[in-house]
Structure 1
Amino acid sequence: MNTAEAAGAAAVASARHDDILVVTIDNPPVNALGVDVRRGLMEAIEAADADPAVKAVVLLGAGRNFLGGADIREFGKPPQAPALPDVCNRIEACSKPVVAAIHGAALGGGLEVALGAHYRVALANARLGLPEVLLGLLPGAGGTQRTPRLIGAAAALELMLSGRHIGAREALKLGLVDKVEEGDDPVAAGLAYARELIASNAAPRRTSEGTALADRPATQAAIDAARADTGKKARGLFSPLKIVDAVQGALDLPFLEGLALERTLFLACLDSPQRAGLVHAFFAEREAAKAPETRSAQPREVNSVGIVGGGTMGAGIAVAVLDAGLPVVMIERDEEALARGRANVEKVYDGLIAKGRIKPEAKEAIMNRWSGSTAYDALSQVDLVIEAVFEDMAVKQAVFKELDRVCKPGAVLATNTSYLDIDQIAASITRPQDVIGLHFFSPANIMKLLEIVVPAKVAADVVATAFELAKKLKKTAVRAGVCDGFIGNRVLAVYGQAAQMMMEDGASPYQIDKAVRGFGYPMGPFQVSDLAGGDIGWATRKRRAATRDPQARYVQIPDRLCERGWFGQKTGRGYYLYPDGARVGTPDPEVEAIIDAERRRAGVTPKTFTDEEIVRRYLAAMINEGANVVDQKIALRPLDVDVTFVHGYGFPRYRGGPMHYADTVGLDKILADIQEFAKEDPLFWKPSPLLVDLVARGANFASLNK
């Protein structure tokens, strides 16, 4: 046996159970489909075919999963034979019935292997999916050809275009698996099914010969509907429409030609910059969760959570905590406010009931974990408290004084502040080691980002506790240092200012929004301001007025709108008009008149901007301040900035994040842009020392992620 064969044998073991060959994939931690697994599977199927004593084959995974998809250690490396499509084809070509016994994850290539098998039995804990679209790819080992032939085009397209994981029961209903077993032993389930097949003289049943596409008109209608829907929902994305093209091939072409088309489309996706951006985002999220404190300290136990404040943010946080199965104690200043807080929480669940997402009894069970009080003493036994009151230092310090008085020793005391100095909050009480920032994004029960803000005196196990809580809440956590605005809002303030300066210099807010949407954002900065409420930014500007550099340019247009009470959607007008409670705004001629008047007051002669020039300035400001945030250790690495902006600020995920995007453009080009803009305003367009250093060294942001 040569070295390659030995490695394959180690990753895939075969054992005879009477006349059934059980083939076990054992490649910890998730049974990824590395080259050794692929070789081992190929050899096992060859051996089964050649052995007359073997009447059936069972494929299963050791440990907690069947097969977890591609091996990330092979990303970016030259491909090694056998390729996964060849493995799946060889499994399907086996002359003996092959049963896939699925438990845990069967995702991506793992599910494609199962589809290559002739029969599939799933344990109740199985999770199946084809999530390649989330990495800018499509299933490339027969998934786009076998899945629609097995379960029909509509179901197959939904599965592939959503990238979602489904459970065993749903898989059975779709026809993706043949039966579901309740036990926890895949060997027993696989053997039992194989014996049934042998007893009934069942022949191999090849998925490639499935008949679910037989009704051509209905199938074509499903593909056309998916194409139209995908064109709207996946605007700017490359791989989703390629998935639709591949399924069209499954309808139009013989199986082998369909596989060839799939391979061509897969390679096109592989070469796309979007694939690189999505893969970067995927790995960056996992790295962001590995803060130094999570390696050095064990988290404290959190079995109950207190929330101070029942407004929009407090209620959203309460829902996120309740959804994680934890009890919540909400504190408000009086009974009326407490009733509103409870109503805010119930409103979320009532909306889910109306959409058929949960049943009324589920809401009742959840709300049984909610309790409220107007007395801080109700928090005496909770393990963690999140303060979500008005963004004012004195108000927050008053809350923390009460928490210091009533909370038990070791309780974690968290503030949801968006901007304020958490070191100052911590210094106001006797236990600064227990104070941390948990900056949720609104609506807190939906938005994935959670900035975990680490003040100077906090204990390492409190930071570890915050990251563990983020996992329970299914949030994407990013570690941030203390400064005005932390990572996200600090950078937002700078590129928001760049947008305002372009508006005063001649671009309309509507053109700026359109240009930013064209880059891939769901909304432009002025639409976001109207959605969040212009009064929030106004309050921040007034708070910073005393410390603002008198030499710095200050655009007063937003203040003129706020002075009129035009705060955005909630007041029916902001930069846009929102008649009759409309959710989508229309341009407002009066706003344009105010902008013209402000240009005259400031002595600005308007100039024209192309959309491309708008995007260059907008992103240069964002990238430059992102570099400052990394340079000053507010963010640990550039990838932390990327994760923050992808999950909290709408940066297009397929571009990877602003720092990854800067690498793809070239840092020398970004720096040249900033130096060019600095001729107009050297104070605002001051290049980040980190950016200057990286360009001088010929390095990039990615080099700092290691």
Structure 2
Amino acid sequence: MKVNDVVTYEVEGPIAVITVNSPPVNALSNAVRQGVADAVQTAIGDSAVGAMVLICDGRTFFAGAEISELGKPQVEPSLRNLQLIVENATKPVIAAMHGTALGGGLELALVAHYRIAVPSAKMGLPEIKLGLLPGAGGTQRLPRVIGIAKALDLILSGDPVSATSAKAMGLIDELATEGNLRADALTLACRVLEEKRPLLKVRDRADKLDEARGKPEIFAEIRQANAKKFRGYKAPENIVRAVEATLELPFDQGMVRERELFNELEKDSQSAAQRHVFFAERLAAKVSGIPSDTAALPIKKVGVIGAGTMGGGIAMNFANAGIPVTIVETSQEALERGLRIIRGNYETTAKKGKMKPEDVDTRMGLLTGSVAMGDLADCDLIIEAVFENLDVKREVFARLDRIAKPGAILATNTSYLDIDDIAAATQRPESVVGLHFFSPANVMKLLEVVRTKDTKPEITVTAMKLAKTIGKIGVLVGNGFGFVGNRILAARNTQADRLVLEGATPWAVDKVLYDFGFAMGHFQMRDLVGLDVGWNRDATSSANVREILNEIGRHGQKTRGGYYDYDENRKQTPSPVASQVIEDFAAKQGIARRAVNDEEIHDRILFAMVNEGARILDEGIASRASDIDIVWVTGYGWPKYRGGPMFWADLQGLPVVLEKLKTLEAAHGEAFKPSPLIERLVAQGKGFKDA
């Protein structure tokens, strides 16, 4: 019978089967919770029923709580109250899992008296990725099942484990046969009845906790091991404190402590920021302005022009996805060097255990090297990854136009250049698109998909779908200098360079950004990437500090000197040489140096970035403020717990941002003239989220 629209109740022999079907992922919405609660109560009152199986239709067990309900008034039954109904049932409840049992889904399974799962199932507690902790007993029950250390590893990683691993650690009781979950769960339920097994409650278990008593070093070691990874984040410490409560408090008091620690996080801006990123990432995949039924083109073979750092990394993405790639270089020597580097990257990955040794040859077998551009004639997609020079790229595209088959997509990996201008070198500008990968291209998740004024809708759709195929987060952007990411980076560059000429040190600028939450500072990043990237030795003119550093052989970490000095282990120290170069150049430019405090550094850099983001949004280069946030969180190291530059600005309040910009404009000039969009939004009482 139907309990409600998403839950059904059937009786097979002495077993009640409670089935949930709430597509797409059986999230624990109010309707699901109410339906399950009613079904359990029905089974308890049914004298013909001896035990219950809780199972889900579709592709997964409960994949988590309903995230959209977070921060809203509770509608009964809450998840915790549903858990009490299940846990205190007078008849055994068996949770039968397939797909993913995540977050609240796993927490609900933990109150069942027995658990069974198919081998392909995965289970975990990913709340940390939303700036939260498991708030329905996960921090109290999981340690009682698998032990303190393993529970902390699982909760702090947020990553799921396989059912096989879960069985080995005691998280589930039995493995079902793949494709036979319902029958095997019924068999288990009947066996529980026949053997008169007890109603096992995780809350009553103490054996795994006893193993950790008197060992406070477990928590100290966890904190120390994760200090760098979780720098700036609040959720990890609250998680550790909640798990500590399992040893310090009785179960019911531990649950109260968990809820207190959960509430702290739920109300904090960090969780709001991380939830914003979660939804923004999914929203970025939605293409606006194109009919939803636009079909993507098949991509069965890819060509890449250039076997250097970018070209090689780009090629690896497609090989990883099982798509054959032809790599073209200008010389056999450059080609062989590029292929050696690719193989070396794969072998390093295999040595780390992140891929099977035999997969190295499999992936290399998908790569074909050539020095003949004509070998790209049968490719469905050709990506150019040559030197960042407009004339060079136009020449390459003119040649591709003559070689590529009709219907082939021609893509450029340019970081800054006008793609309409590049496309004009062909007779098929409608087939040209930008695919801006980030270095190292085989590692970085961000892919800016740049559509021009002529790019056909089906090519845009294909590019966005392809991003997902190769494991990237695709963000659709418009054609304009630097697109989204590098245009905002250019605004940051301008202020950082100006600040050091006016009196701030590179390390002072870097410390402000590091303290804000970036993994490294602005000048540290430049040294890491290489100051000579994009520098033309033949055309250099001592026009700025970076050029002068390059001219004297200071290219960054690789030469053990850039803005910083580096020892043989690449440990950095402030460079007196760079300091002198900066002071000399400032004097030559007639810039009077002065003391610059951290507040000024913070405001000039961050508000310049926000202002540039507003201009990008106003010009339509980005479709949504959240797309800008995803670009900067995913590709440039903006701390996820601050949500991205536009979310951060909304958090400050746009009236505050506007006043800051006006003050900065008065002190530091036109660069801070407020974007008209900010002025309009403030006048309307809106934020970037409304733009």
TM-score range, shorter chain: over 0.9
Give distance in 2, aligned partners of 1:420 and 1:171.
50
Pick one of 125, 129, 132 that aligns with 2:127.
Answer: 132
Greater mean alpha carbon deviation, residues 657-666 or residues 117-126: 117-126
**Equivalent residue runs for 1:292-691 within 5 Å:** 292=288, 293=290, 295-536=292-533, 538=535, 556-580=544-568, 582-691=569-678
Q: Which residue number corresponds to residue 70 of structure 2?
A: 75
Q: Deviations over 1:368-405 (max 9, x none)?
A: 22221112232222221211111112222232233222
Greater mean alpha carbon deviation, residues 76-85 or residues 521-530: 76-85
Is this contact kept in 2: 1:96–1:203, CA < 8 A? no
Pick one of 286, 289, 292 that aligns with 1:290.
Answer: 286
In the TM superposition, residue 8 of structure 1 has moved relative to its aligned partner by 6.3
> Which secondary structure state, in structure 2, belongs to the residue aligned with residue 295 of structure 1?
coil
**Runs ≥4 residues deviating over 4 A:** 537-543
Is this contact kept in 2: 1:152–1:219, CA < 8 A? no
In the TM superposition, residue 555 of structure 1 has moved relative to its aligned partner by 8.0
- Cα gap change, 1:256/1:367 in structure 2, threshold over 3 Å: closer, same or farther? same
Give distance in 1, aligned partners of 2:214 and 2:95.
30
In the TM superposition, residue 304 of structure 1 has moved relative to its aligned partner by 2.0
> Which secondary structure state, in structure 2, belongs to the residue aligned with residue 212 of structure 1?
helix
Partner letter of residue 250 of structure 1? T
Q: Deviations over 1:406-435 (max 9, x none)?
A: 222212111111111111111111221111
Please, what TM-score do these two structures have when normalized by structure 2?
0.96
Give distance in 1, aligned partners of 2:149 and 2:640.
26
> Which secondary structure state, in structure 1, belongs to the residue aligned with residue 117 of structure 2?
strand
Matched, 1:16 2:3: no
Greater mean alpha carbon deviation, residues 209-218 or residues 521-530: 209-218
Give distance in 1, aligned partners of 2:622 and 2:651.
21
Q: Deviations over 1:497-542 (max 9, x none)?
A: 1111111111100000001100000011101111111123545997
Is this contact kept in 2: 1:223–1:247, CA < 8 A? no
> Which secondary structure state, in structure 2, belongs to the residue aligned with residue 279 of structure 1?
helix
Give distance in 2, aligned partners of 1:455 and 1:238.
42
In the TM superposition, residue 353 of structure 1 has moved relative to its aligned partner by 2.1
Greater mean alpha carbon deviation, residues 111-120 or residues 681-690: 681-690
Q: Deviations over 1:552-601 (max 9, x none)?
A: xx982222212222121122211011222x33421101111122222222
Is this contact kept in 2: 1:504–1:555, CA < 8 A? no
Give distance in 2, aligned partners of 1:193 and 1:384.
52
Give distance in 1, aligned partners of 2:404 and 2:216.
63
Is this contact kept in 1: 2:563–2:575, CA < 8 A? yes
Is this contact kept in 2: 1:8–1:36, CA < 8 A? no
Q: Which residue number corresponds to residue 548 of structure 1?
A: none
Partner letter of residue 194 of structure 1? A
In the TM superposition, residue 18 of structure 1 has moved relative to its aligned partner by 0.8
Q: Which residue number corresponds to residue 110 of structure 1?
A: 105
In the TM superposition, residue 691 of structure 1 has moved relative to its aligned partner by 1.1
Give distance in 2, aligned partners of 1:35 and 1:540.
65
The answer for unaligned runs of 5 or more in structure 1 is 1-5, 546-553
Pick one of 185, 193, 196 that aligns with 2:191.
Answer: 196
Aligned residues: 689
In the TM superposition, residue 358 of structure 1 has moved relative to its aligned partner by 2.4
Q: Which residue number corresponds to residue 258 of structure 1?
A: 254
Partner letter of residue 666 of structure 1? G
Q: Deviations over 1:435-483 (max 9, x none)?
A: 1100000111111110000011111000000111111111111111111
> Which secondary structure state, in structure 1, belongs to the residue aligned with residue 448 of structure 2?
strand
Give distance in 2, aligned partners of 1:555 and 1:488.
24
Q: Which residue number corresponds to residue 154 of structure 1?
A: 149
- Cα gap change, 1:7/1:244 in structure 2, threshold over 3 Å: closer, same or farther? farther
In the TM superposition, residue 218 of structure 1 has moved relative to its aligned partner by 7.4
Give distance in 2, aligned partners of 1:89 and 1:229.
35
Partner letter of residue 600 of structure 1? A
Matched, 1:89 2:78: no
Give distance in 1, aligned partners of 2:404 and 2:161.
42
Pick one of 218, 228, 231 that aligns with 1:232.
Answer: 228
The Cα RMSD (Å) is: 2.0
Q: Which residue number corresponds to residue 549 of structure 1?
A: none
Q: Deviations over 1:585-632 (max 9, x none)?
A: 211011111222222222223222322321111111000000000011
Q: Which residue number corresponds to residue 218 of structure 2?
A: 222
Q: Which residue number corresponds to residue 3 of structure 1?
A: none
> Which secondary structure state, in structure 1, belongs to the residue aligned with residue 407 of structure 2?
coil
Please, what TM-score do these two structures have when normalized by structure 1?
0.94
Q: Deviations over 1:637-667 (max 9, x none)?
A: 1111111100011101111100000011111
Q: Which residue number corresponds to residue 31 of structure 1?
A: 26
Give distance in 2, aligned partners of 1:613 and 1:684.
15
In the TM superposition, residue 175 of structure 1 has moved relative to its aligned partner by 2.1
Q: Which residue number corresponds to residue 160 of structure 2?
A: 165
Matched, 1:66 2:54: no
- Cα gap change, 1:75/1:246 in structure 2, threshold over 3 Å: closer, same or farther? closer
Partner letter of residue 285 of structure 1? E
Q: Which residue number corresponds to residue 550 of structure 1?
A: none
Q: Which residue number corresponds to residue 40 of structure 2?
A: 45
